[in-house]
Homo-oligomer: A and B are copies of this chain.
Amino acid sequence: MKNMNNTSRIRAIDAIKRKLVGHELSYEDSYAIMHEFSTGGLTDIFVAYFAAASFSAGYTDDELYNLTKAMVETGKKFTLKGIVADKHSIGGMPGTRASMIIVPIVAAAGYQIPKTSSRAITTPAGTADCMEVLAPVAIELEKAQAIVERIGCCIIWGGHLGIAPADDVIIRVEEPLSFESYDKVIISILAKKVAASSKYMVLDIPVGPSMKIRLVKDALRFRDAFTRIAQRFGIRVKADINFQYEPAGFGIGPNYETIDAVKVLAQTPDRSSDLEFKSIKLASEVLDLCFAADHRADDSLLVAEYLLKSGAAMKKFREIVKAQGGDGDFVIDRISVGNNKKEILAPHDGVVSGVNNFNITSLARLLGAPSDKLGGMVLQARMGQRIKKHDILLTMYTNSADKLREAVDTYTHMPVFELQV
Residues of B within 8 A of A382 (CB): 215
Q: Out of B208, B241, B383, name the residue touching A209 (CB < 8 Å).
A: B383
* CB <8 Å contact, B277 and A220: yes
Give CA–CA (A35, B354) in the complex, Å: 46
* CB <8 Å contact, B208 and A384: yes
Residues of B within 8 A of A418 (CB): 354
Among A214, A216, A274, A383, chain B packs the most CB atoms within 10 A around the CB of A216
Give CA–CA (A367, B244) in the complex, Å: 32
**Distance (Å) between the CB of A292 and the closest chain B CB?**
9
Q: Out of B273, B277, B383, B420, name the residue touching A208 (CB < 8 Å).
A: B383
A312 is an interface residue with CB less than 8 A from chain B: no
A55 is an interface residue with CB less than 8 A from chain B: no
**Distance (Å) between the CB of A405 and the closest chain B CB?**
27
Residues of B within 8 A of A242 (CB): 242-243
Residues of B within 8 A of A383 (CB): 208-209, 214
Q: Out of B207, B353, B354, name the residue touching A384 (CB < 8 Å).
A: B207
Across the two chains, which residue of chain B brings its CB closest to A215? B384
* CB <8 Å contact, A214 and B277: no
**Distance (Å) between the CB of A272 and the closest chain B CB?**
9
A352 is an interface residue with CB less than 8 A from chain B: yes
Contacts of A339-389 to chain B: CB distance below 8 A: 351-354, 382-385
* CB <8 Å contact, B243 and A244: yes
Residues of B within 8 A of A353 (CB): 209, 354
Residues of B within 8 A of A215 (CB): 273, 382, 384-385
A46 is an interface residue with CB less than 8 A from chain B: no
* CB <8 Å contact, B241 and A243: no
* CB <8 Å contact, B216 and A277: yes
Task: Type the 1/0 row for A199-238, where 1 means its CB is closer than 8 Å to any CB of B.
Answer: 0000000011101001111001000000000000000000
A245 is an interface residue with CB less than 8 A from chain B: yes
Give CA–CA (A353, B351) in the complex, Å: 17
Task: Type the 1/0 row for A11-45, where 1 means its CB is closer than 8 Å to any CB of B.
Answer: 00000000000000000000000000000000000
Across the two chains, which residue of chain B brings its CB closest to A216? B274
**Distance (Å) between the CB of A359 and the closest chain B CB?**
11
Residues of B within 8 A of A385 (CB): 214-215
**Distance (Å) between the CB of A416 and the closest chain B CB?**
14
Which 4 A-B pairs give the minimum distances between C-beta atoms?
A214-B384, A243-B243, A217-B273, A209-B384
Spell out A's residues near B (CB within 8 Å). 207-209, 211, 214-217, 220, 241-245, 273-274, 277, 351-354, 382-385, 418, 420
